[in-house]
């Protein structure tokens, strides 16, 4: 069976700088995998290559067996590769209701419909409500996004991506900057994602990584250093060296 | 049905609901037809500027495309309608359709120039397109009449029955009806999923694309639509004044419509309409009292408005109305 998402020899060079170096990577269906690495390891570039914001210098990106290397970002979203952002990328003066409705409309191919008002299709408002309920946003649906508590904004960040019906969901530091009191809601929402959605978590927070991931990939200097189960990664001397600054001999 | 479904469905239905002030606004606009002769020529100008500003609002207020050359489409519509009247048929509605088509075609062709780049790039590109067209019109006097303008238009009666009179009542009725129909269409569009995707693009095109919105295609579509609206406004001016001059393509016209929209507030459909009313009334009052200084007062008004309004570009009259309402 095809993996949910694969890369083959993926590389990105900016002039003389190699930001992503020959990454061959595999995300199984239903995976709960984490991508970790120190600052500057190239995680952001890698995600941008996966989602189509950047075009790779060489290599391929394959989603469920289909080569998507040359597809535009929105075409990848329609095929089920969806991401969230480390820094909220929301629509400040729109409401969560509008944000989720937008994603649902686009997924159902209604985004070009100019004749009917938003929500005229019952299936849309029903699904908006389901997504809002899943992420605990029902009570703030009609408020401006930029007036919401930060934790709610982070939930909306994930809810909007979820409304695109992802096959593969890339979560970029979902709990970054969230106050302790609201953190639980986000962890619960992530834990409750449907099992058939393959999740790649890009994260700094090791507590979250080790509580969530069943497999971990470590990215260093643009290349994959090691991959494996959490226990193996925690015990790996090279990973410890990278994170703790220890020297590796030999 | 659960309580949640009610919330989402009701919330979405509320977005598109007609509000009482809107109905009052349109009743007043149509009631102005019954005024004694004297103000209809001015009202006709207001309606045309309102349509032009509505057009700019579609790209600037909704999709976030700033333009300093929107007169290009206005002028294309005006010349197309004028030439069509002279060469093909004097029927105004057919000419209006031709003006709309000319604006739309030019919009479609130039939309690809504004897809990329920053606001500054877009300002320069739109400005450049309008300057080029102005010079083209100037260089083709056998078609456009050049600096003398396109003369000898004899516009036929509206619907074959209503002649355009000296007092401008038919003209105002024609422009207002066109404005109303196109406003209804614009209202439908901005409340649709298509309109919502434009609003998302303006606020954050990166995220819009990450939610599956084909950003470029939507921008091409709305730019073409807005150009069609501007073409309609240009055609109305040509037909109701039976004359087209190079002024339709001048930079001043692009600047005026931007001013009108900013006075009214970009990003809501009534912004262009309210702005056009204020702009034209100010222009008319100031120009009759102090013709040589009217731009001075206009400038002063803008400075005050910008300082008082909280949200600079998108606030305008809407911001002021909201502040008054809170008091």
Question: Is B158 contained in some domain?
Answer: yes
Question: Taking 60 as the threshold, does the pLDDT of residue A87 lie above it?
Answer: yes
Give the pLDDT confidence score for residue B1 in this predicted structure.
Answer: 45
* pTM of the model as a whole: 0.90
Q: Tell me the per-residue pLDDT of A220-229, one tens digit each, with 9 for 90 and over.
A: 988 888 898 8
> In CATH, what number is assigned to the domain containing residue A42?
3.40.50.300
For residues B140 and A202, give the distance between their C-alpha atoms in angstroms, rounded to a whole number. Answer: 61
Q: Which of B319, B309, B267 is nearest to B65 (CA)?
A: B267
Q: Which residues does residue A7 pair with via DSSP β-bridges, in sequence order?
A: A25, A61
Q: Tell me the per-residue pLDDT of B128-185, one tens digit each, with 9 for 90 and over.
A: 999 999 999 888 888 888 788 888 888 878 887 888 887 888 999 999 999 999 999 9
Question: Is A202 contained in some domain?
Answer: yes
How many structural domains compose chain B?
1
Mean pLDDT along residues B37-49 = 92
Residues in B closer than 8 angstroms to A163, CB to CB, are 211
Question: Is B21 contained in some domain?
Answer: no
Question: Is A30 contained in some domain?
Answer: yes
Select from A53, A77, A129, A171 the residue whose CB has the most chain B CBs within 10 Å, as the one to mutate to test that interface. A129
Select from A112, A114, A164 the residue whose CB has the most chain B CBs within 10 Å, as the one to mutate to test that interface. A114
Q: Which of A1, A66, A27, A11 is nearest to A170 (CA)?
A: A27
Q: Tell me the per-residue pLDDT of A32-47, one tens digit each, with 9 for 90 and over.
A: 999 998 888 888 899 9
Q: Supply the ipTM of this predicted assembly.
A: 0.90
Q: Tell me the per-residue pLDDT of A150-184, one tens digit each, with 9 for 90 and over.
A: 999 999 999 999 999 999 999 999 988 888 888 99
CB contact under 8 A, B193 and A83: no
Question: Is B309 contained in some domain?
Answer: no
Question: Is A112 contained in some domain?
Answer: no
Residues in A closer than 8 angstroms to B199, CB to CB, are 91, 94, 98
Comparing alpha-carbon positions, the chain B residue that sits nearest to A138 is B4
Query: Which of A72, A93, A101 comes nearest B12 by C-beta?
Result: A101
Question: Is A211 contained in some domain?
Answer: yes
Give the pLDDT confidence score for residue A245 in this predicted structure.
Answer: 64
Q: Which of A89-103, A201-215, B289-303, B313-327 has the lowest mean pLDDT?
A: B313-327
Give the pLDDT confidence score for residue B310 in this predicted structure.
Answer: 45
Question: Taking 50 as the threshold, does the pLDDT of residue A249 lie above it?
Answer: no
The DSSP annotation for B63-99 comes to T----S-THHHHHHHHHHHHHHHHHT---HHHHHHHH
Question: Is B232 contained in some domain?
Answer: yes
For residues B236 and B82, give the distance between their C-alpha atoms in angstroms, rounded to a whole number. Answer: 10
Share of chain A above pLDDT 90, in %: 68
The DSSP annotation for A28-97 comes to -TT-EEEEE--TTSSHHHHHHHHHTSS--SEEEEEETTEE-TT--HHHHHHTTEEE--SS----TTS-HH
Query: Which of B192, B203, B208 comes nearest A118 by C-beta?
Result: B192
Q: Which domain, by its residues, includes B215?
A: 35-273
Question: Is B52 contained in some domain?
Answer: yes
Select from A105, A118, A163 the residue whose CB has the most chain B CBs within 10 Å, as the one to mutate to test that interface. A118
Give the pLDDT confidence score for residue B318 in this predicted structure.
Answer: 66
How many structural domains compose chain A?
1
Q: Which domain, by its residues, includes A77?
A: 5-89+164-244
């Amino acid at each position: 069976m095809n993996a949910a998402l694969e890369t083959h020899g993926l590389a990105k060079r900016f002039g003389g700088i190699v930001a992503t170096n020959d990454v061959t990577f595999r995300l199984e269906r239903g995976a709960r995998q984490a991508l970790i690495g120190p600052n500057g390891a190239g995680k952001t570039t890698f995600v941008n290559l996966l989602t189509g914001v950047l075009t790779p210098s060489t290599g391929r990106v394959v989603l469920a067996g289909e080569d998507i290397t040359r597809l535009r970002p929105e075409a990848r979203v329609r095929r089920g590769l969806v991401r969230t952002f480390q820094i909220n990328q929301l629509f400040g003066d729109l409401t969560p209701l509008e944000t989720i409705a937008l994603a649902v409309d686009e997924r159902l191919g209604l985004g070009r419909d100019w004749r009917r008002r938003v929500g005229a299709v019952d299936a849309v408002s029903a699904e908006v409500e389901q997504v809002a309920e899943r992420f605990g946003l029902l009570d703030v649906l009609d408020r401006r996004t930029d007036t919401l508590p930060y934790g709610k904004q982070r939930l909306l960040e994930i809810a909007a991506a979820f409304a695109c019906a992802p096959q593969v969901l890339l979560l970029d530091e979902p709990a970054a900057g969230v106050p302790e009191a609201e953190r639980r809601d986000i962890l619960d929402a992530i834990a409750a994602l449907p099992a058939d959605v393959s999740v790649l978590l890009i994260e700094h927070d090791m507590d979250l990584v080790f509580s969530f991931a069943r497999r971990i990939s470590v990215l260093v200097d643009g290349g994959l250093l090691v991959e494996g189960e959490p226990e193996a990664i925690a015990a790996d001397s090279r990973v410890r060296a990278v994170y703790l600054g220890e020297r590796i001999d030999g | 049905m659960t309580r949640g479904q009610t919330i989402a469905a009701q919330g979405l239905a509320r977005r598109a609901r007609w509000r009482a002030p809107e109905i009052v606004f349109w009743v007043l606009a149509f009631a102005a037809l019954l005024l004694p002769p004297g103000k209809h020529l001015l009202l006709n100008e207001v309606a045309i500027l309102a349509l032009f500003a509505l057009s700019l609002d579609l790209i600037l207020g909704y999709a976030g495309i700033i333009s300093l050359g929107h007169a290009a489409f206005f002028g294309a519509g005006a010349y197309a309608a004028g030439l069509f009247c002279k060469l093909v048929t004097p029927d105004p509605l057919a000419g209006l359709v031709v003006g709309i088509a000319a604006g739309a075609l030019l919009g479609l062709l130039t939309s690809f120039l504004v897809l990329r780049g920053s606001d500054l790039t877009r300002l320069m590109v739109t400005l450049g397109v309008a300057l080029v067209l102005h010079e083209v019109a100037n260089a083709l006097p056998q078609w456009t009449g050049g600096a003398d303008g396109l003369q000898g238009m004899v516009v036929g009666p509206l619907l074959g029955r209503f002649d355009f009179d000296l007092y401008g009542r038919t003209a105002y009725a024609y422009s207002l009806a066109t404005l109303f129909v196109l406003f209804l269409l614009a209202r439908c569009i901005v409340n649709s999923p298509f309109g919502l995707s434009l609003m998302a693009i303006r606020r954050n095109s990166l995220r819009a694309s990450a939610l599956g919105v084909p950003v470029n295609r939507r921008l091409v579509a709305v730019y073409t639509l807005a150009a069609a609206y501007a073409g309609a406004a240009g055609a109305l001016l040509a037909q109701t004044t039976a004359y087209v001059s190079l002024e339709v393509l001048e930079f001043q016209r692009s600047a005026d419509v931007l001013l009108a929209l900013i006075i009214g507030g970009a990003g809501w459909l009534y912004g262009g309409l309210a702005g056009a009313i204020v702009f034209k009334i100010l222009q008319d009052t100031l120009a009759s009292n102090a013709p040589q200084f009217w731009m001075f007062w206009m400038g002063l008004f803008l400075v005050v408005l910008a300082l008082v309004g909280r949200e600079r570009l998108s606030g305008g009259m809407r911001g002021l109305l909201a502040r008054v309402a809170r008091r």
